[in-house]
Amino acid sequence: MPALENRERRILALLRESGGVALGVQDLLDQTGWTDQAHVVGAAMGLVEKEYASVKEDESRKVRLGSEGIMALQEGLLEKRLMDWLTSVEPEQRTMAALSAAFDKSESGPGVGLLRGLGAVIESGALVFSDQNRAEQEIGRRMEFIQSIADTHLLVTDSNKDIVAHFTNRRDLIEVENSITRSWKASQAGLDLNPENLVQSEQIGELTPDILQGESWRDKEFKPFDIHAPAPIPLGGRPHPLQSLIDRIRAVFLEMGFSEITGNYVQSAGWNMDALFIPQDHPARTMQDTFYLAEPETIEVDEHHLRQWADVHESGGSTTSQGWGGSFDANESKKALLRTHTTVNTVRHIADHPSKPSRVFGVGRVFRQETIDRTHLPEFHQIEGIIHEEKASLPMLITTLRTFYSKMGYSDVRVRPAYFPYTEPSIEVEILWRGKWLELGGAGIFRPEVTQPLGTDWPVCAWGMGLERLAMLILGLEDIRELYQPDLEILSKMPLL
Ligand code: PHE
């Protein structure tokens, strides 16, 4: 049984006592002694919602004088004044010319029209009535109507609807207002309700510290709130949902003890790929996949790094690896490109701080030659991070990612084996969403071929996750493009993060 508020109890009690007669707002105001209509209507509608009452809605139209109507009340309707003039002059003087002289042009034109409507005809330039009595009667009836609504709103009924129709066709004489009159009756469920439920009780409508600190709330009733009741959605300024998500990710990593790093969009192929032991003939390095720049076409890379990457790529350098073989091309390393992943930021961070343990993260934009569709964009963001310290390990990596996703609200995380040229072991991270496992990104422990040239012996836990995939999930989007369309209507309705 839906709980009733005190006001609803009061109204239902009255509806039950009315003996089947529907009660309107005024009846209920009188009987409750309340002064606010909104209270009566709110409670009565609440009862209808809960099916303890039914509502009858009568639409009605009311009329009152318009600005011209008020003038007509004082000076008479135009047809009345014309008729008065006509009867005050001799029949042979009732000419159009005389009429034009006696009345302003703005009145004589429409006036003649009105008289014609009342049966006047023009014969040799003079106005003649076929039945002047009838015309005068009709004018009298119109004047009476105008006087009858002088200071009231008159209900439109069958008996006056013709004259109302007449005046609504004339400018500003009357104004018509549509209104709905409601009345309520108790339903069978309302009549059957045990009277106990109608006893008004003290209800707590708002929890204050005072109430909560005491014990008295234990015996009190709480005012029921319908959290499903329709309410207007307040629209105001808000950050873009993607920005809110980035801010939340930041907050989570900062809370987990990570520091934030950033980097440039423009990088050398050396740092973006060679440093990560991505072979120089890897398909992802071609123009089809990567945006290479024309300006600048190349970027200088430190000789020392170029030599080390060459060593590791050709023969494994001082690691136990055999490298990729072939010959390393330093010119390939110098090619300028738009970073294809934010892993370039983390490797550069290690290169800058090789002997300092670090836990860093960054959320940054990356660029790949992708055909735009429902799940792909050529620009998107990655959530990147590393743990670089002596005891870094795969369990530590997995726990970190689990912790991160559970703080974001996704506690079902699983990892699967994967492959990246720069990590061993490599894993793919998936989260459970609506019964499906969704892949969110890659992770692993950097290979010695990566860490050794960077100047560190410590293991590095590394990950790079998709931001937009996570955003689509959290915001319930089917199409990644919705995130970037400047449609304020759609954006304003996206959930707050
Ligand atoms: N850079 C990889 C990508 O772009 C993700 C990744 C980062 C994988 C770090 C392993 C380690 O998808």
How confident is the model over 354-410, as pLDDT tens digits?
999 999 999 999 999 999 999 999 999 999 999 999 999 999 999 999 999 999 999
In the structure, how many helices (H) and strands (E) does the chain have?
20, 17
Which residue ranges have their beta carbon within 6 Å of ligand 1?
A: 341, 343, 420, 423, 441-444, 462-464
Distance CA(192)–CA(392), nearest Å, equals 71
Q: Which residue is closest in CA terms to ligand 1's atom 2?
A: 464
- HEC states along 307-350? HHHHHHHHHCCCCCCCCCCCCCCHHHHCEEEECCCCHHHHHHHH
Among 267, 343, 384, say which to mutate for ligand 1: greatest number of ligand atoms within 8 Å of CB: 343
CA 103 / ligand 1 centre spacing (Å): 90
Shortest-distance Cα residue to atom 9 of ligand 1: 463
More confident position, 434 or 423: 423
152/320: higher pLDDT: 320
Q: Report the SS3 class of residue 263.
A: coil
Average pLDDT over residues 250-275: 98
Residue 1, pLDDT score: 64
Where do the DSSP E strands lie in 66-133? 120-123, 126-129
Distance of CA 285 from the midpoint of ligand 1 (Å): 15
Atom of ligand 1 at shortest range from CA of 466:
12
Q: Give dist(CA 179, CA 201) in Å, integer.
A: 35
Question: What pLDDT, on a 0 to 100 scale, did the predictor assign at position 17?
Answer: 95
Q: Ligand 1: which of 277, 285, 341 to mutate, most ligand atoms within 8 Å of CB?
A: 341
Q: What is the pLDDT of residues 291-323, one digit of tens each?
A: 999 999 999 999 999 999 999 999 999 999 999
Residue 133 vs residues 124, 129, 319, 351: alpha-carbon distances, Å: 22, 9, 120, 109
Q: First-to-last CA distance in the chain?
A: 35
What is the 163 CA–ligand 1 centroid distance (Å)? 81
CATH number 3.90.1150.10 is the correct assignment for the domain at 6-59+179-222: no
**Tens-digit pLDDT profile for residues 161-204:** 999 999 999 999 999 988 888 999 999 999 999 998 898 887 88
Contact 314, 325 (CB under 8 A): yes
Distance (Å) from CA 465 to ligand 1 centroid:
7
Q: From 59, 60, 78, 58, select the one nearest 68 (Cα to Cα).
A: 78
Tell me the CATH architecture of domain 244-265+339-493. 2-Layer Sandwich (3.30)
Q: What is the distance in A from the centroid of ligand 1 to the CA of 142?
A: 86
Which amino acid appears at position 166 of this protein? H
Instruction: Indicate the domain borders of the chain.
Output: 6-59+179-222, 67-172, 244-265+339-493
pLDDT > 80? residue 226: no
Helix (H) or strand (E) run with residue 272 in it = helix 269-272
- Nearest atom in ligand 1 to the alpha carbon of residue 341 is 4
| pLDDT tens by residue, 436-463 | 999 999 999 999 999 999 999 999 999 9
Distance 292 CA to ligand 1 centre (A): 20
User: Given strand 23-24, what is the order of strands in its sheet?
Assistant: 23-24, 174-186, 53-65, 154-155
Q: Which residues, in sequence order, are CB contacts of 465 under 8 Å at separation 6+?
A: 382, 383, 384, 429, 440, 441, 442, 443
Banded model confidence at residue 235, pLDDT cuts 50, 70, 90: confident
Question: What distance in angstroms lies between residue 262's CA and the mean position of ligand 1's atoms?
Answer: 16
The residues, ordered by sequence, that sit 6+ positions from 316 with a Cβ below 8 Å of its Cβ are 322, 323, 449
Determine if the pTM surpasses 0.75.
no
